[in-house]
Chains A and B, each alone.
Chain A
Amino acid sequence: MSTVENRTQKGEVIIKVTDLKKSYKETIHALRGVSLEVKKGEVVVIIGPSGSGKSTILRSLNLLEIPTSGKIYFEGEDITSHKADLNRIRQKMGMVFQQFNLFPHMTVLKNMTIAPRKLLKLTKEEAETKAIKLLEKVGLADRADAYPSQLSGGQKQRVAIVRALCMEPDVMLFDEPTSALDPEMVGEVLEVMKRLAKDGMTMVVVTHEMGFAREVADRIIFMSDGLIVEEGSPEEIFDRPKNDRTREFCRRVSSQ
């Protein structure tokens, strides 16, 4: 935890996780006691080999995975408590999936406006104005009436990102957002994410894009076997890794 306190980034703690454990069928331990903090405005990138639990921890943050034990606090509220209003909390945490998960039976515009209209009670006009503005920012305003099946992978993921943004979340969670994309489309999605980070959005990103991690992350968390092995600034993790496993992982990904 020492690295967290050394951070220069200012701001209050927005997500706090203490000793989170997750096991399936009591034999498979995906998370074996993870504690971390995310501050407002911070971009945290979680890296690690597959099966290390990085997706599980991200999905636990908005309780798409129910942890076996441990606590998660979001804006000071214990969201693992059964009294927590999950639906309200999830509105404040946007999530972007590897497989985009756009709603195939709705147009791009409908995809983006349904949640604000039904949950934030915006009028159709308000929601659509907001959606169009966001689509313009990601260069997809002309595809507002298209259906997801008519979009390329990169376009789909950009829509997925602005769909989450329509709810004006306090935190954005990205679960390997570029892993399902063809290589030539990775750039356009990362570009959107970089812009989002620059605008001060708090972001937790699970990714294999080491270039992106190095450029955008305020802090990198390296996970392996359901534990946080090392965390620190990009320079600390990539250039001067302390742990053998981190070193091995960085060497392997940089040689690719």
Chain B
Amino acid sequence: MQQQTQIDENKVLEEKEAERLAKPALKVQGLEKSFFRFGSGKFAVKDISFTLERGYMLGLIGRNGAGKSTLLRLILQSLPRKKGTLQIAGYDVTTHATEAKKLVGYVGEDFYFLTKETLKENGKVLAMFYPEFSMDRYLELLGRFELGAEKLAGQLSKGENTKAQLAFALAHKPELLLLDEPTGGRDPVVRREFLYVLQSELMDERMSIIFSTHITEDLDKVADYVAMMEKGRLLFYETKDELLERLTGENGERLSLKQLMVKLCREGEKK
């Protein structure tokens, strides 16, 4: 009898999990945030809405101060939002903040490793925040990136830091990976390696990635969707191919993402 109840409970849990996995990796509606920035006055992220399905990569472009990092921090919930709703990997963050957070991975320019500890020790300590963290996977990825697990985090170069962060983020099995300018200032070898790992991670169609960057060449290679932010608003959000098809140059020629971004920024300035 007890066994039957256990089997039924497991079945219900499995069904719930399957239902959750069928939902998009991220659903954002009416997201807003305003705050005061010293030197440049009031800044606001206004009315951001979009949905990112599982297994896709969204490239987030826009110039400095457009609100890309703010948007990522709002999704990560390290900044409180003023308005709007967020659904991460099937969890509404209002009611399931903890469940949603453990499924988000973050790689940023200034990630916070414990500087005086080795990468292995960092893995041990920071892993306590993630129930699904796999130490084996973390060490395997560090090895793949040719990073010594006994190296002190404070001695890492920028490129190594990015790789270590990615190894950590992937080791806790996120369903949404947020990348905030991860390839900025990194050499081409690091960037290529980084993009290769990301592409292979997308294969299982469980995880989605938001990749915020200025280096649009990286997105040319890997992004499925492209979104552009300008003055805190989302100018567009569509598939890369459709976008490049729709927006052409003055003589009808096909533009690269870089040319497209410059064009849209100039048009914005004229307005």
Tell me, yes or no, whether A binds B: no
> Footprint of B on A, CB under 8 Å?
none
> Footprint of A on B, CB under 8 Å?
none
